[in-house]
């Protein structure tokens, strides 16, 4: 396979029907103030993969797992062409334990991260709408309820909550 390039990824983002906001993030021309403030420094095109030579890109199986975005320069959100869903992996760790998710599912950890880091609720709602997260409202409500009840205080209880959300909203492929 030849080297993966930005045009191919951008066209795939459009073909997948991801929002104009995702295209703006990829293009690095974010017009929305809230998106720019909350995601502009941490979400970008997947430079860590794009800048690799073609033969090294193949170590990430870019023909099967097409990188769409980079989160915090360490994680990649990719389209899983074989399962028609999305995966997330750490660039340093490579392709391990790849669960395939829906769009909402691959971004569930990001949604909870915003909530845990006290991003204003109206900003979270704005972001969720702009990137078309369908289940953000009941997930935020569940986060609030479980947190108030002390049910998210350990890694184990958080893991249980995540699995509950994946199952309840059918977020895994």
Query: What is the secondary structure of 5-59 as a DSSP string?
Result: -HHHHHHHHHHTT--HHHHHHHHT----HHHHHHHTTTEE--HHHHTS-HHHHGG
Does the structure show a pLDDT above 70 at 31? yes
Are the CB atoms for 156 and 163 separated by under 8 Å? no
Give per-residue pLDDT as tens, 44-75: 999 999 999 999 999 999 999 999 999 998 99
Confidence at 133, pLDDT banded by 50, 70, 90: very high
- Both tokens assigned to 68: 């769409």
Q: Calculate what percentage of the chain has a pLDDT beyond 70.
A: 99
Average pLDDT (100-120) is 95
Does the structure show a pLDDT above 80 at 142? yes
Average pLDDT (166-173) is 96
Does the structure show a pLDDT above 80 at 166? yes
Residue 139 region by backbone torsions, left for phi larger than 0, else alpha for psi between -120 and 50, else beta: alpha
| Of the listed ranges 18-27, 103-112, 131-140, 145-154, the one predicted with least confidence | 145-154
- φ, ψ of residue 94 to 5 degrees: the values are 80, -155
> Can you tell me the distance from the alpha carbon of 19 to that of 131, in angstroms, rounded to the nearest whole number?
6
- Both tokens assigned to 153: 């205080």
* Residue for token pair 């209880």: 157
**In this structure, which long-range contacts are made by residues 58-64, counting pairs with CB atoms below 8 Å and at least 24 apart in sequence?**
58/1, 59/94, 60/94, 60/95, 61/95, 62/1, 62/4, 63/1
Average pLDDT of every residue of the chain: 94
Average pLDDT (108-127) is 95
pLDDT score recorded for residue 153: 83
pLDDT score recorded for residue 1: 64
Q: What are the residue ranges spanned by the domains of the chain?
A: 6-100, 108-168
The number of beta carbons lying within 10 Å of the beta carbon of residue 28 is 10
Residues 81, 79, 104, 155, Cα dihedral to 10°: 110
> Can you tell me the distance from the alpha carbon of 164 to that of 148, in angstroms, rounded to the nearest whole number?
17
């Amino acid at each position: 396979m030849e080297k993966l390039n930005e045009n191919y990824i951008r066209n795939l983002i459009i073909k997948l029907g991801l929002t104009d906001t995702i295209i703006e993030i990829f293009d690095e021309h974010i017009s929305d103030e809230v998106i720019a403030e909350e995601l502009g420094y941490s979400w970008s095109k997947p430079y860590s993969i794009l800048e690799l030579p073609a033969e090294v890109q193949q170590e990430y199986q870019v023909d099967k797992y097409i990188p769409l975005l980079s989160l915090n320069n360490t994680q990649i959100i990719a389209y899983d062409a074989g399962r028609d869903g999305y995966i997330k992996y750490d660039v340093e760790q490579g392709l391990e334990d790849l669960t395939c998710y829906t769009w909402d599912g691959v971004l569930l950890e990001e949604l909870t991260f915003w909530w845990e880091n006290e991003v204003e609720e109206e900003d979270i709602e704005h972001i969720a709408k702009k990137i078309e997260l369908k289940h953000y409202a009941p997930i935020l409500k569940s986060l609030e309820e479980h947190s108030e009840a002390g049910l998210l205080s350990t890694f184990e209880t958080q893991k249980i909550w995540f699995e509950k959300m994946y199952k309840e909203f059918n977020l895994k492929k």
